[in-house]
Amino acid sequence: MKDDARLSEEETMLRSIEAMLPRFEKNRAQLIPILQAIQEEHQYLSREAMRLVADYLEISPSEVLGVATFYNQFRFHPPGRHQIKVCLGTACHVAGGDIILENFERKLGIREGETTPDREYSVERVACVGCCALAPVAVVDDKVIGHMQPSKIEGLFLQFDLQREQEKAREAGEEADAQAGS
């Protein structure tokens, strides 16, 4: 069921990209603006999306991939519902930011730059979040968590689990109310 939903999501994304491409001139100079537009709308660049761009601009897929991988602004996996960013700027690095990143990777079973198979979580490293006095820092769903410690990571995931259970209970209650009203 989830695989069917993901396939449908990918097909919808590709149709959207095909509709977007004619807004751009068929000129190699448009490669980066096209990739930026796709990322802005869909949050990542899939291999199929880059193939569409290559076909549209009449350049090789490897050239599109080469440009996309050169710039760190592009991501190649769909972001998770919960996005975790670990600062590895100088202050955070010195204060153990790399250990925090390793703990998130180990807990989720993914490497930085990846998303869990259920698309619930993604982890990435960032250069600096501008909170050096709070080092090491992680940003979880746009919430800055300073003085991050490995022991805090388990607590974060317990909060996510509790939130998910509350959402399920709320949905079940709404469904029961809808059935009772019919």
pLDDT digits (tens, 9 = 90+) for 122-145: 999 999 999 999 999 999 998 999
- With 60 as the cut, is the pLDDT of residue 2 above it? no
Domain 2-70 has CATH 2.30.30: no
Q: Where are the domains of the chain?
A: 2-70, 82-178
Q: Tell me the binding residues.
A: 87, 92, 128, 132
Q: Are strands 138-140 and 82-87 parallel, antiparallel or unpaired?
A: antiparallel
Q: Give the per-residue pLDDT at 1.
A: 46
Mean pLDDT of 81-102: 95
CATH number of 82-178: 3.40.30.10
Q: Tell me the binding residues for [2Fe-2S] cluster.
A: 87, 92, 128, 132
Q: How does DSSP assign 31-48, residue by residue?
A: HHHHHHHHHHHHSS--HH
**At residue 46, what are phi and psi to the nearest 5 degrees?**
-85, 165
Global pTM value: 0.71
